[in-house]
């Protein structure tokens, strides 16, 4: 028993000695390993394993020393900031902060820019280089101002450094720069700008003196005029406001852009012109400027061209014309115009004109104002003018106004629209010779507006049209009888057949040709009863057979309209007895009569020698016996 107790006590003692000896040995071993390595991780491991070890304080001192050495070796802001983060109470904190400031300052010095110095001041508001940093900022601002050498930059310097060492010089430059700019520009505008910004400036009196002198210097205006463009004159007005030639420059700009009436420019001897005829629809004008600048010439609506030959028509402009003259060469333009004397000759290139501001007729003056505003064609304008100037009849219009390839230049629709324009001008259209005949002829129009206007002029409704036409077949005026027959032929209304046949029986030879011509058109009437249609055709055929000789006689009528209608009717009848008389008519003085005869010959014979009288005669000599024997 005693022996067992003794053994147990021995074991306890051994274990206790082991617990004391082993930690001491490990502490010593770990410390030795840390000092041998001399690195932050090994010292940190020692502290972690032996937080109560006898070398803990020394280990922590070594960790701080090693971190500091790393920062010193790196010599960067990041390195020193890391040291401060890890050792906020370390023995090198003050030195670390000084190094951070020094490094920032060095970066600012190296960059030598305003943002870097401002950054230094912002971070180190009480740093040892703040005063120098602010001086550098001011110096750099001054350098920028002097390099730019502009008022805004010097004003910026003064604003940022109101107590700076260059403020006086900056303010002097702020005043002197505008003055130098004013001197360089040497314009009224530049001196006025100087005076407005420096009313008490050193150079204000000089600016006022120069402004006064420039305002009367005509050479400035002449220089702009020599360039002769809208831009040069506008620049003159901008640079020299109040100049004694300001109004002149404004007027010249108006000449260039808006232009002036040809009459004003002629009166002021700024242009010269030559005029000559160019047919029924225009006047040719040659223009040349006599001034050193471009000019726009307007030929207004209503300009009146008086022919140098009393036998030739005068002309009136029906639309405004403009031409811009930029060189000293002659320039040709065509002015849209209408003839003002239907009975006279058409103007040719040899016709010369004097130009006047307006026509002598008050009615024509009112009419041309309406024409200038209306969007109608040349034919309508021409008819409207002749209605006013000549009180032209429809027969004379049809005879006088023709176009190549067209029987009449003016259709019923065109005449009606011309009459409307005349009425719009405040002129009583009902008293014009053209009125009733044209209104009757328009009763067959497909244009509702034209038809409605014709009905209004005649004072009837559409359902009364045939009744009016049949009555007008008995009118004392043969032109109205012709017009009524024409519309009956065009409308092909069966109600009017009997009236037209009755008119044939009593009509004089002068108008029979036209009646017969329209009767031929009525043969195409389609009725519900064939017997009625046959009776109509027979009556017309008998009338036609009896009236060939009167139609041949009508080819010699004094009226070109009757001659033309007679030729047309003979072409419809297709009687061979008419061939030779129609060939003779190919020498008629009226082109439309010639064309009507040529068409009739082609219809009767099937041959086509056009208007060539000689060829038709030769053909007739070879074939007349055969043709007349049939």
Return d(Cα 413, Cα 548) in angstroms, integer. Answer: 33
- The residues near 431 (Cβ < 8 Å, ≥ 6 apart) are none
Question: What is the gyration radius of the CA atoms in the chain, in angstroms?
Answer: 57
Task: Decide if pLDDT at 16 tops 50.
Answer: no
Tens of pLDDT, residue by residue over 543-573, are: 555 557 777 888 888 777 778 878 887 887 7
Stretch 164-176: mean pLDDT, rounded?
89
pLDDT score of 235: 96
Whether the CB-CB separation of 387 and 398 falls below 8 Å is answered with no
Model pTM score: 0.57
**Any idea what the Cα angle at residue 342 is, between residues 336 and 348, rounded to 5°?**
55
- Strand order, beta sheet including 321-325: 260-261, 295-299, 321-325
pLDDT score of 290: 94
Q: Which pair of structure tokens corresponds to residue 537?
A: 């055709």
Whether the CB-CB separation of 383 and 374 falls below 8 Å is answered with no
3-state secondary structure 557-574: CCCHHHHHHHHHHHHHHC
pLDDT score of 493: 67
pLDDT score of 407: 64
Stretch 484-511: mean pLDDT, rounded?
67
Query: Which of 4-8, 130-134, 357-361, 546-550 bottoms out in mean pLDDT, i.e. has the lowest?
Result: 4-8
Return d(Cα 268, Cα 56) in angstroms, integer. Answer: 115
Binning pLDDT at 50, 70 and 90, where does residue 308 land? very high
Q: How many helices (H) and strands (E) does the chain have?
A: 31, 9
Task: Look up residue 431 and give its DSSP letter.
Answer: G
Binning pLDDT at 50, 70 and 90, where does residue 322 land? very high
**Interior/surface letters 240-263, b for 16+ CB within 10 angstroms, e for the rest:** beebebeeebeebbebbeebbebb
Stretch 73-78: mean pLDDT, rounded?
92
Stretch 420-449: mean pLDDT, rounded?
93
pLDDT score of 527: 38
Whether the CB-CB separation of 402 and 596 falls below 8 Å is answered with no
Q: Which pair of structure tokens corresponds to residue 21?
A: 């000896």
What does DSSP say about strands 353-356 and 304-307: parallel, antiparallel, or unpaired?
antiparallel
Return d(Cα 225, Cα 223) in angstroms, integer. Answer: 5
Query: Which residue matches tokens 């900031």?
Result: 81
Stretch 416-445: mean pLDDT, rounded?
93
Return d(Cα 481, Cα 473) in angstroms, integer. Answer: 5
Tens of pLDDT, residue by residue over 569-594, are: 788 778 888 899 999 999 999 888 89
From the number of C-beta atoms within 10 Å of its C-beta (0-12, 13-18, 19+), residue 277 rates as buried
Whether the CB-CB separation of 555 and 581 falls below 8 Å is answered with yes
Tens of pLDDT, residue by residue over 367-415, are: 999 999 999 999 999 999 999 999 999 888 888 887 665 467 888 899 9
Stretch 223-236: mean pLDDT, rounded?
91
pLDDT score of 529: 38
Tens of pLDDT, residue by residue over 77-125, are: 899 999 999 998 989 998 999 999 899 999 999 999 999 999 999 999 8
Query: Which of 249-258, 282-291, 298-307 bottoms out in mean pLDDT, i.e. has the lowest?
Result: 249-258
Binning pLDDT at 50, 70 and 90, where does residue 20 land? very low
Return d(Cα 90, Cα 436) in angstroms, integer. Answer: 124
Half-sphere exposure of 436 (CA within 13 A, CB side): 14
Percent of the chain residues past pLDDT 90, beyond the cut: 61
What does DSSP say about strands 295-299 and 260-261: parallel, antiparallel, or unpaired?
parallel
Query: Which residue matches tokens 């491991």?
Result: 45
Binning pLDDT at 50, 70 and 90, where does residue 5 land? low
Distance, C-alpha 623 to centroid of its chain: 66
Task: Decide if pLDDT at 73 tops 70.
Answer: yes
Return d(Cα 9, Cα 16) in angstroms, integer. Answer: 11
Angle between the N-to-C axes of helices 613-629 and 591-605, in degrees from 0 to 180, rounded to the nearest 10: 40
Stretch 213-233: mean pLDDT, rounded?
92
Alpha helices (H) in 507-559, listed in sequence order? 509-522, 530-546, 548-554
Percent of the chain residues past pLDDT 70, beyond the cut: 87
Which residues on adjacent β-strands are paired with residue 332?
286
Q: Which pair of structure tokens corresponds to residue 357?
A: 């501001």
E strand map for 148-292 = 260-261, 271-277, 282-289
Q: Which pair of structure tokens corresponds to residue 454?
A: 């014709």
pLDDT score of 9: 54
pLDDT score of 2: 53
Binning pLDDT at 50, 70 and 90, where does residue 501 land? low
pLDDT score of 186: 94
What does 457-496 look like in DSSP terms, one character per residue? Answer: HHT--GGGHHHHHHHHTT-SSHHHHHHHHHHHHHHT-GGG
pLDDT score of 108: 93
pLDDT score of 404: 64
Task: Look up residue 189 and give its DSSP letter.
Answer: H
Task: Decide if pLDDT at 617 tops 60.
Answer: yes
Task: Decide if pLDDT at 340 tops 50.
Answer: yes
Average per-residue pLDDT for the chain = 86
Task: Decide if pLDDT at 23 tops 70.
Answer: no
């Amino acid at each position: 028993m005693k022996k067992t107790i003794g053994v147990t006590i021995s074991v306890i003692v051994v274990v206790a000695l082991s617990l004391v000896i082993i930690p001491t040995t490990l502490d010593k071993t770990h410390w030795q390993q840390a000092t041998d390595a001399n690195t932050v991780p090994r010292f940190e491991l020692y502290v972690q394993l032996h937080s109560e070890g006898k070398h803990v304080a020394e280990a922590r001192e070594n960790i701080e020393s090693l971190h500091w050495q790393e920062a010193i070796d790196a010599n960067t802001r990041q390195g020193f900031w890391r040291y401060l983060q890890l050792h906020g109470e370390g023995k090198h904190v003050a030195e670390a902060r000084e190094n951070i400031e020094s490094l920032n300052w060095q970066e600012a010095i190296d960059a030598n820019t305003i943002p870097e110095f401002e950054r230094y001041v912002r971070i180190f508001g009480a740093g040892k280089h703040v005063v120098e940093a602010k001086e550098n900022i001011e110096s750099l601002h001054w350098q920028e101002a002097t390099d730019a050498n502009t008022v805004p930059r010097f004003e910026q310097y003064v604003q940022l450094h109101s107590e700076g060492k260059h403020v006086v010089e900056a303010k002097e430059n702020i005043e002197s720069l505008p003055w130098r700019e004013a001197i360089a520009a040497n314009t009224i505008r530049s001196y006025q700008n100087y005076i407005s910004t420096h009313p008490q400036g050193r150079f204000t009196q000089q600016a006022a003196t120069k402004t006064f002198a420039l305002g009367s210097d005509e050479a400035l205006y002449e220089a702009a005029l020599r360039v002769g463009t809208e831009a040069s004159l506008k620049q003159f007005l901008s640079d020299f406001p109040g100049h004694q030639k300001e109004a002149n420059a404004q007027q010249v700009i108006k000449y260039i852009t808006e232009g002036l009436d040809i009459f004003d420019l002629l009166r002021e001897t700024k242009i010269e012109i030559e005029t000559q005829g160019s047919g029924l629809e225009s006047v040719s004008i040659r223009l040349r400027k006599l001034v050193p600048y471009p000019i726009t010439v307007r030929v207004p609506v209503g300009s009146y061209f008086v022919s140098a030959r009393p036998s030739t028509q005068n002309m009136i402009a029906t639309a405004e014309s403009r031409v811009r003259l930029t060189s000293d060469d002659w320039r040709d333009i065509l002015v849209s115009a209408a003839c003002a004397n239907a009975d006279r000759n058409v103007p040719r290139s040899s016709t010369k004109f004097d130009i006047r501001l307006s026509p002598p007729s008050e009615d024509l003056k009112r009419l041309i104002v309406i024409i200038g505003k209306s969007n109608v064609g040349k034919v309508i304008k021409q008819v409207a003018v002749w209605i006013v100037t000549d009180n032209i009849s429809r027969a004379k219009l049809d005879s006088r106004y023709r176009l190549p390839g067209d029987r009449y230049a003016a259709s019923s629709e065109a005449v009606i629209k011309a009459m409307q324009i005349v009425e719009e001008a405040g002129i009583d259209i009902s008293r014009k010779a053209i009125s009733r005949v044209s209104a009757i002829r328009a009763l067959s129009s497909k244009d509702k507006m034209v038809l409605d206007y014709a009905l209004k002029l005649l004072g009837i409704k559409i359902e009364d049209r045939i009744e009016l036409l049949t009555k007008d077949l008995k009118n004392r005026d043969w032109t109205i009888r012709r017009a009524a027959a024409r519309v009956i032929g065009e409308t092909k209304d069966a109600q009017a057949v009997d009236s037209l046949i009755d008119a044939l029986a009593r009509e004089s030879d002068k108008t029979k040709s036209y009646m017969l011509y329209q009767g031929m058109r009525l043969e195409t009437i389609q009725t519900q009863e064939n017997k009625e249609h046959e009776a109509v055709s027979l009556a017309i055929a008998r009338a036609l057979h009896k009236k060939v000789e009167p139609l041949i006689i009508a080819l010699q009528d004094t009226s070109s309209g009757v001659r033309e209608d007679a030729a047309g009717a003979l072409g419809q009848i297709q009687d061979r007895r008419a061939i030779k008389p129609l060939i003779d008519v190919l020498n008629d003085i009226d082109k439309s009569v010639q064309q009507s005869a040529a068409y009739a010959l082609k219809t009767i014979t099937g041959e086509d020698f056009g208007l060539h009288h000689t060829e038709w005669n030769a053909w007739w000599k070879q074939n007349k016996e055969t043709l007349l024997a049939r």
